[in-house]
Chains A and B, each alone.
Chain A
């Protein structure tokens, strides 16, 4: 056999073999990996809801895994409670995609931001891991890009802003009871009245 053909054949066979082995193993571990990721996200979300609002026993929140929600643009609604809305938003940083959870009160004020998944460089991406004074600064409304992690911090800021801008609080809780919807409309109206 000619050397070129032999080389191509060897690489092709090895690549196919590697691909097959990896596909099989990804199938074997898939369920467990998905369960672990979901558990880790659930833990972060619970922390976000519990810590930021001081309420320990909230009604079970409605998870909407992967269900697009018209009024939210590309964000997912995770929780819609009496006085808290949690959105899941996505963006792209320096090392790849990240996913965020953003908690808003019914005025649309940010009550907390947590990073569910990210692929930023260790060290530079540390501002995304809790405890993080930078993530907490979202609740004060005074957020600045971080020197040395400009791409990461600006991408997170943009993703939070996108999620918050697109959310129309009046429309995202269609199943909740009337008083909740009244409350939403009232809080919006009162905010509009006080510039």
Chain B
């Protein structure tokens, strides 16, 4: 299995590692919102990981975490500003969840484990793979919830997010167990 599929499928941030669940549950009420957050997370994760990887030898070990958070916060703010300027409708719906990407442990984990140690190539592939895995999870959850809303209105509400996400995770575990 190559590095991209490993990051996206075998170590899927949402379905396997259960990271980034707050935005996953909160913003998956429609496919459009899910897509918006997936794109925002991809830009922040990829941008921060590549920048950290490029300057990793200059970052002192003791202050690496504040440095990583500073880089992530900068990219998050850039994405937030871009959204407010060029995608205002989407911004009004999901701005809060774009802003809290900065606390998303999925992103800090990839930077601590990969970007701060590996070169640009491996970091980029890992970031894109992780982003693709997160995007797939949130889009599938968003599509399932939007489709279920027709006969099961609860699916669009917060409790529905837990129910549908729980069922999807159970499905992922069943399929995963077959492959192992």
Secondary structure of the B contact surface, majority rule: helix
A-B pair number, CB within 8 angstroms: 53
Across the interface, do B74 and A18 meet the contact criterion of CB distance under 8 Å? yes
- CB neighbours (8 Å) of A3 from chain B are 60, 62
Q: Does A189 contact B (CB under 8 A)?
A: no
Q: Does A40 contact B (CB under 8 A)?
A: yes
Across the interface, do A36 and B77 meet the contact criterion of CB distance under 8 Å? no
Q: Scan residues 1-60 of chain A and give those whose CB is less than 8 A from a CB of chain B.
A: 3, 6-7, 10-11, 14-15, 18, 21-22, 25-26, 29, 32-33, 36, 39-40
Given contacts A3-B60, A3-B62, A11-B67, contact A18 B73 (CB under 8 A): yes
Chain B residue total in the interface (Cβ 8 A)? 24
A9 to chain B, nearest CB (A): 9
User: Which of B63, B70, B81, B91 touches A25 (beta carbons < 8 Å)?
Assistant: B81
Chain A residue total in the interface (Cβ 8 A)? 20
User: Which of A7, A22, A39, A123 touches B63 (beta carbons < 8 Å)?
Assistant: A7
Given contacts A7-B62, A21-B78, contact A14 B70 (CB under 8 A): yes
Residue of B nearest to A13 (CB): B58
Secondary structure of the A contact surface, majority rule: helix
Across the interface, do A26 and B81 meet the contact criterion of CB distance under 8 Å? yes
- Which of A22, A29, A39 has the most chain B CB atoms closer than 10 A to its own CB? A29
Can you list 25 pairs linking A and B with CB atoms under 8 Å apart? A6-B60, A7-B60, A10-B58, A10-B59, A11-B63, A11-B66, A11-B70, A15-B70, A18-B70, A18-B73, A21-B74, A22-B74, A22-B81, A25-B82, A26-B81, A29-B81, A29-B82, A29-B85, A29-B86, A32-B86, A33-B85, A36-B84, A40-B92, A122-B26, A123-B158
